[in-house]
Amino acid sequence: MDIPFWLAEEAPPFAELALDTVDVEIVGAGITGCSCALTLAQAGKRVRVLDQRGVAQGASGRNGGFALRGGAARYDVARDTYGADSARELWRRTEGELDRLEELGGDAFRRTGSLRLAADDEERAEIRAEFETLRLDGFVCEWRDELPPLLSPHFRGAIYHAGDGAVQPARLVRRLAGAIAEAGAEIRTNAWVESLDELNAEHVVIATDGSGRGLLAELDEAVWPARGQVIATEPLAERLFDCPHYARHGFDYWQQLPDNRIVLGGFRDFSILAEMTDEEVTTEEIQGALDAFLVELLGTKPRVEHRWAGIFGLTQDLLPLVGPVPGRDGTWVSAGYSGHGNVLGLLCGRLVAEAILGRDDPLLGLLDPARLLGLTTGGDQFG
């Protein structure tokens, strides 16, 4: 029951190598660590990935399975906050990364589109503004006033994003792990890194999203752990939803899988402070809210076969910290996707790898860890 549905599927074995010395050590074998390792190993670097548990055992095997364009903020808000050019570039790059995910993922990915729903008139006005800003900047999306009978009693309009998709996240990351091992990297599981001092490689990458507390004090200040909870039902008799759906600012999200079971998560805001934790356990309050919403949505209560929790990393500006850790030579981070890491983790893990290979990407300016670690040189630091 507590095993995430995604992880219940049998994991294909990967070649277990043990390397003597390595150029890069990566803490975390989720989407970020595996993406980073893949680019490095394919470029001929000797790489070791370490994880206290196993491949995809963190948020990467415990999430809602949405593969969305963009970041965690609404696009119009992102444009105002990060600047028009930066927001546009980030959204455009995630569209490209969705194509890469499709290539790498095989049957772990389905290009279904996604439906962003408004739960009331206020949210409708917000997502309408987002829709208009997306269109203005040339991004493909459709406005939906007419909703199917199952949705129309609860929702007040939606944006359909045709390029988005659904991912079996554990299968995707396990597939990447196989490719990494094939490219000659070592994946060391059950390997708890208590301190970065234990690592000797020239480059160390922290790819722990919300679960790496204690590795670096300054990161603990900037990346806050948050818990998300999810349920998966038995397969239903009917096909009701053909793509991932999300509403209430992303606090509620669900999708129907090809075998017709529903995966539903969210309601973190019902107990928002208690859910700011890295304790990976389910709670009666949130699980009860998920059960109640299921009945409200479907009108029936299917059997729930899996219940689980996962931890993700939140940041103040909802952007991840990606790049070198200021003041710590050779230490890199890619974490804090604010609940949006399936596509961003794939992208940002690769960007860190590219930077280690000497190919700095302009997007790293926007995601520079220094902006939240209080060490930027551009600002009035002493004022």
Ligand X SMILES: Cc1cc2nc3c(=O)[nH]c(=O)nc-3n(C[C@H](O)[C@H](O)[C@H](O)COP(=O)(O)OP(=O)(O)OC[C@H]3O[C@@H](n4cnc5c(N)ncnc54)[C@H](O)[C@@H]3O)c2cc1C
In whole angstroms, how close is the CB of 247 to ligand X at the nearest point? 13
Q: Are 283 and 228 in contact (CB under 8 A)?
A: no
Could you say whether residue 324 binds ligand X (CB under 6 A)?
A: no
Instruction: Give the integer Cα–Cα distance in Å for 89 and 123.
Output: 25
Kindly indicate which of the ranges 41-49, 135-143, 144-152, 335-343 contains the residues binding ligand X, using the contact rule CB under 6 A: 335-343
Q: Measured from the CB atom, is 157 or 228 closer to ligand X?
A: 228
Query: DSSP string spanning 3-16?
Result: S-HHHHSPPPP---
Q: Measured from the CB atom, is 30 or 323 closer to ligand X?
A: 30
Q: Which of 257, 339, 368, 371 forms a contact with ligand X (CB under 6 A)?
A: 339
Q: Measured from the CB atom, is 85 or 198 closer to ligand X?
A: 198
In whole angstroms, how close is the CB of 64 to ligand X at the nearest point? 3
Q: Distance of CA 162 to CAs 39, 72, 168, 304, Å?
A: 28, 18, 18, 29
Kindly indicate which of the ranges 7-15, 27-35, 91-99, 102-110 contains the residues binding ligand X, using the contact rule CB under 6 A: 27-35
Could you say whether residue 347 binds ligand X (CB under 6 A)?
A: no
Instruction: Give the integer Cα–Cα distance in Å for 257 and 263.
Output: 7
Q: Measured from the CB atom, is 18 or 237 closer to ligand X?
A: 18
Q: Measured from the CB atom, is 293 or 376 closer to ligand X?
A: 293
Q: Measured from the CB atom, is 131 or 312 closer to ligand X?
A: 312
**Residue tagged 């394919």 (tokens):** 42
Could you say whether residue 341 binds ligand X (CB under 6 A)?
A: yes
Maximum alpha-carbon separation in the chain: 64
In whole angstroms, how close is the CB of 307 to ligand X at the nearest point? 11
Tell me how crowded residue 204 is: count the other CB atoms within 10 A of its CB: 22
Q: Measured from the CB atom, is 52 or 133 closer to ligand X?
A: 52
Could you say whether residue 265 binds ligand X (CB under 6 A)?
A: yes
Residue 237 Cα to chain centre, angstroms:
30
Element (H, E) at 188: strand 186-188
Binding mask 205-244 for ligand X (x = CB under 6 A): --xxx-xx--x------------x-x--------------
Could you say whether residue 176 binds ligand X (CB under 6 A)?
A: no
Could you say whether residue 323 binds ligand X (CB under 6 A)?
A: no
Tell me how crowded residue 289 is: count the other CB atoms within 10 A of its CB: 19
In whole angstroms, how close is the CB of 48 to ligand X at the nearest point? 12
**Residue tagged 């899988």 (tokens):** 257
Residue 185 Cα to chain centre, angstroms:
23
In whole angstroms, how close is the CB of 202 to ligand X at the nearest point? 19
Q: Map the footprint of ligand X across residues 58-117, applying CB under 6 A.
A: 58-60, 62-66
**121-147 residues labelled b (16+ CB within 10 A) or e (exposed):** eebbebbbebbebbeeeebebeebeeb
Q: Distance of CA 170 to CAs 6, 59, 259, 300, 342, Å?
A: 6, 9, 17, 29, 10
Residue numbers at the binding site for ligand X (CB under 6 A) = 27-33, 50-53, 57-60, 62-66, 192-193, 207-209, 211-212, 215, 228, 230, 265, 310-312, 335, 337, 339-343, 345
